[in-house]
């Protein structure tokens, strides 16, 4: 790997992540809602991958560069489109509303939103994408681990796509209003989309793991998994769901919180 070229790439992608999130912040200021950062999340990953593809020309293996860029872009665009469609006309996300309520109203709350919601997520996007950026600069063609990573990525994308589709159809039925979604993939894990997200990023990590350089960035998928399972993903969502959904306690008692497992017998 060309260290100088990779260093330049890291600086450029940091700027790209910042630009995407600042654009999302500007949109949030105008609309009065900051939930658009979720839409920007997937687009920022795709923008970083496309930037890396352009800058790594002549440095990394072409097949690996294209493969990892296509996988990240497919995942990021699908996620952003899904979240944009789901959020159309909706009020502020309760997670962000509770977060922003900690700051005083007015300019102080705006600055707090910029730092905690947008700038922090720009940094996380850049850090989590490090294995992708490194893979684009590896000189050798994809090996067995890279193809295994592609399979893990495909499993993750399937969990996300199928889980999101099942939940959307469930919510579209007025008869399900106020009920807990416990069908399909949601019967085996309370968060098939979060589990799928983790698989996607472990798969992308493996695309560069057939080189010692790739293993240097193992903290990136670890951070993503931690955020999904123990940070801003599952815990924050479940606090909201547990507060106003009848039957939530029974559902959590029989259904795995993250990894897909057979449901436990009803008591």
pLDDT tens digit sequence for 12-62: 999 999 999 999 999 988 888 888 888 999 999 999 999 999 999 989 999
Burial of 253 (0-12, 13-18, 19+ CB in 10 A): exposed
pLDDT at residue 89 is higher than 80: no
State the pLDDT at residue 265: 82
**Residue appearing with tokens 């695309």:** 207
**Token pair for 165:** 């589709």
pLDDT per position as a tens digit, 112-165: 889 888 999 999 999 999 999 999 999 989 999 999 999 999 999 999 999 999
**Are the C-beta atoms of 70 and 153 separated by less than 8 Å?**
no
- Which pLDDT band, with edges at 50, 70 and 90, does 267 fall under? low
Burial of 160 (0-12, 13-18, 19+ CB in 10 A): buried
What is the C-alpha separation between 246 and 262, in angstroms, rounded? 22
Percent of the residues in the chain that have a pLDDT greater than 90, as a whole number: 63
State the pLDDT at residue 78: 96
pLDDT at residue 244 is higher than 80: no
pLDDT at residue 94 is higher than 90: no
- Average per-residue pLDDT for the chain: 90
Which of 133, 194, 145 shows the shortest CA–CA distance to 9? Answer: 133
- Which pLDDT band, with edges at 50, 70 and 90, does 77 fall under? very high
State the pLDDT at residue 147: 94
- Which pLDDT band, with edges at 50, 70 and 90, does 242 fall under? low
Q: Provide mean pLDDT across the span 168-176.
A: 90
Q: Provide mean pLDDT across the span 226-243.
A: 81
3-state helix, strand, coil in the chain (%, to 5): 75, 0, 25
């Amino acid at each position: 790997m060309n260290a100088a070229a990779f260093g330049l790439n890291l600086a450029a992608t940091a700027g790209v992540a910042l630009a995407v999130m600042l654009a999302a912040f500007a949109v949030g200021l105008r609309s009065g809602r900051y939930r658009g950062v979720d839409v920007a999340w997937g687009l920022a990953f795709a923008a970083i991958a496309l930037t890396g593809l352009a800058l790594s020309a002549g440095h990394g293996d072409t097949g690996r560069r294209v493969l990892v860029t296509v996988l990240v872009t497919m995942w990021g665009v699908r996620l952003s489109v899904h979240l944009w469609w789901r959020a159309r006309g909706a009020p502020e996300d309760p997670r962000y509303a509770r977060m922003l309520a900690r700051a005083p109203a007015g300019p102080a709350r705006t600055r707090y939103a910029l730092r905690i919601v947008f700038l922090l997520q720009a940094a996380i996007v850049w850090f989590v994408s490090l294995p992708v950026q490194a893979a684009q600069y590896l000189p050798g063609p994809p090996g067995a681990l890279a193809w295994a990573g592609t399979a893990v990525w495909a499993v993750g994308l399937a969990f996300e796509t199928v889980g999101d589709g099942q939940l959307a159809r469930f919510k579209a039925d007025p008869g399900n209003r106020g009920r807990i979604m416990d069908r399909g993939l949601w019967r085996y894990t309370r968060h098939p989309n979060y589990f799928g997200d983790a698989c996607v990023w472990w798969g992308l990590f493996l695309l560069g793991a057939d080189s010692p350089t790739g293993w240097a960035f193992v903290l990136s998928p670890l951070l993503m998994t931690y955020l999904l399972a123990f940070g801003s993903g599952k815990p924050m969502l479940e606090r909201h769901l547990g507060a106003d959904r009848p039957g939530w306690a029974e559902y959590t008692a029989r259904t795995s919180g993250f990894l897909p497992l057979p449901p436990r017998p009803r008591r």
